[in-house]
Structures are given as structure tokens and as C-alpha cells.
Structure 1
Amino acid sequence: MQALVIIDMQLEIQRRIETGLDHVNPGTPTRIAALADAFRHRGLPVLHVRHADQNPASAFHPASAGHGPMPCAEAQEGEAVFVKSTSSAFASTDLADHLRRAGIHRLVVAGAVAGFCVNSTVRAGADLGFEMTVLRDAILGFGLPDAGLSARTVLDVTLALLEADFARVLPTAEVLARIDADSFDLAD
């Protein structure tokens, strides 16, 4: 069984975009909303991952306004929400156990941020034996100006590394077309 995993689409990420930080895939929220709707329509699980920093000064502290989900990542009743304190969604949550109990072995990953939490979650998931698919145009990425790297460069390198050994990388439109097919299965 497949599940959609939405990583760290939180209000702090939206704030960073609105401040004009160099980023790629500005249509990510719209694509994630469409993916979530399609998965729900087919009765497939939609899982939410949110980052929580214990530092009260952090924008990702649970009491901070930045901790809440963006509208595209609001969990519906019955959808699992995993709150992590590490980069990988697997390291500080029971996500792997939840997936195994539910018989989920293929994950479609969307969210933020490409070079950090998406990257570490996908790698960890692959190492744990899950089949990972990353949506190339539903992943937000930011630049690393101190390293002289644009958001496009960070995203392209991250996706190339993930595709080389850890995941399939597909466009959202292809996954949506497969969901609309009679038998949705990313294995083929």
C-alpha cells in the first residue's frame, strides 16, 4: 500500500517564502493540496510530519505561530500527525512502526525542505526498506547563500543524489495520473 507523507509544511516555511528567500517550486502548496485530495479520494493514507524545536525562541517551537501547518498540510480527522525533533521523520517518531502496522511499504514524499528534512527522511526510509518516491515539483527548496548555492542548485543536487540510490523522483502530474488509474501502484 502507498501513503502520501507531507513533511514540514508549516507556517514558518510560508513566512520564509514571503520574506523573499531564494526558493524553488513555489507551486508546492497547491500541488500538495491536490495530492492530498487525490489520496483521500482513493482511500489512501495521508500522513503529516511536523518539526518541533524545544528551544522557546525557535519559530518551530510548539508554542510559536510558525509551528502550525500551512493550509495545504492541515490534517483531516483520522490522519496521523508525527511530530519530530530531528531532521529525519523516522529518527524521533514511531513513523516506521506505524507504517509497518498499517501495511504501508511505499511512500510518496512531498514538503519541505529539500536538502534537509526531506533528504534525511527519504534516505532513512530507504535504509529501513520502504520504497520511496519523491515528487520533484512538490518539494520546497531554499538556497544556501553562505555557501554560494542557489535554491535550484541545492534542489537539483539533492534530487540527483536521492534518485541515484534512495528513491524514484517523479513529477506530481505523473503520480496524480496514476492515482486516477483503476489500480494505483507506484511499483510499476
Structure 2
Amino acid sequence: MQSRQPQRRALLIIDMQVGLFNGPDTPYDGAQVLANINELIGKARRTGAPVFAARHTGPQGSPIEPGSPLIQLLPDLAVDAMTDAVFDKNRPNCFLGTELADSLREASVDELVIVGMKTEYCIDATCRAAADLGFQPVLVADAHTSMDTPVLSARNIIDHHNRTLNGPFVRLVSTAECAF
């Protein structure tokens, strides 16, 4: 009987950038989500797990056009551009039009721990795409956020996505439970 290789995890931080986090709408529980993500970065680093950080860019002329100060990662985010992989994307799905899947495969990553914002856009799209691409997505329930909308509160959006994605698309864990 062949022994199963242990899963190798990587951390994917989505869109924790100046122009989205500090925009006109405040992210729900933003300070705690940022603290949780920084805790997860520390856990990943202590075990040598790769850390990837995606930045969303818009078209030329938009506030988040490539090179804009608004696409920069939050200064309080513990990402280190010298050791972590920082990449730009222009679609909600972090895999579409990027080298993320190839980079994960090159690093022998099986499981992808997903955190960041916005829950109903880039978090949702990336969780679903990761599963479709053969990765095992792990969504950290208390390390992703969104903003209130005219229809739903951010808390309801987050709760709904945690419940909907858990099982068919992701394994849901808390920051405290998450290990690398």
C-alpha cells in the first residue's frame, strides 16, 4: 500500500489593497480581518508555506489602473514583496489571466488557503475556480470581508458565502484552526 503524501498548503491573500480597503465603503470588521490575515501570514512563514498576494487592477483611466497608488497592498499587511509572490489580476477569479495555477503546481501546492476581499466577488470566484482546477480550497471564515450593499449587510454576505461555499467548494476553517 502506497503512503499518501501530506498536503502542501499555500496562503492566497486577495485584494487587501489601499483603494479597496480604504475606499468610500468600510469593510466589515476590517481591522480584525487584517489582524487575522497577518496571523495567517505568520503561521505560513513559520512552516515555509508559500504566500501569494493578488492585487486587483482596473483599466487605464480607472482609479485602480495599473501603477496607481490605490492598488498597493495595505501598509499594515505583513506581505514581504522580497519573499512573497505579489501579482496583479484584472478579473474576480485570481487564476484567469495570471500564472497563479502554474506557480502553485510548481511549488507542489495541493491546498490553497484563501483570505481577503470582497467576499461575494473575488473570494467566491477564486474559491470556485480553485476547486475546478484541482486544488483543495480552504476558506478562512473570519479572514475575508465585504461591505454593506443596499440589499444585504456585509455580515449577511459573509455568513451566506461561508455557508454556501462550505462543502461543495471549500473546507471552512477559522484563523485559530488554520495550520500550514
TM (normalized to structure 2)? 0.88
Query: How much has 1:78 moved relative to structure 2?
Result: 2.7
Match among 134, 137, 146 for residue 139 of structure 2: 134
Match among 18, 21, 40 for residue 11 of structure 1: 18
Q: Check 1:119–1:20 CA distance in 2 against 1; reply closer, same or farther (3 A cut).
A: closer
Give the count of matched residue pairs. 172
How big is each residue's C-alpha offset from its partner over 1:39-84, in whole Å with a ceiling of 9 and x where there is no partner? Answer: 11111111111111123232x2123221100121533413212211
Partner of 1:75: 80
Mapped to 1, the partners of 2:55 and 2:126 lie a distance apart of 12
Contact 1:22/1:150 (<8 A) preserved = no
Match among 104, 107, 111 for residue 112 of structure 2: 107
Give the secondary structure class of the aligned counterpart of 2:82: coil
Partner of 2:41: 36
**Structure that is richer in helix per residue:** 1
Partner of 1:169: 172
- Give the unaligned 5+ runs of structure 2: 1-7
Contact 1:46/1:79 (<8 A) preserved = yes
Give the secondary structure class of the aligned counterpart of 1:27: helix
- Give the unaligned 5+ runs of structure 1: none
Cα RMSD for the two superposed structures? 1.6
Partner of 1:155: 158
Q: Give % identity.
A: 33
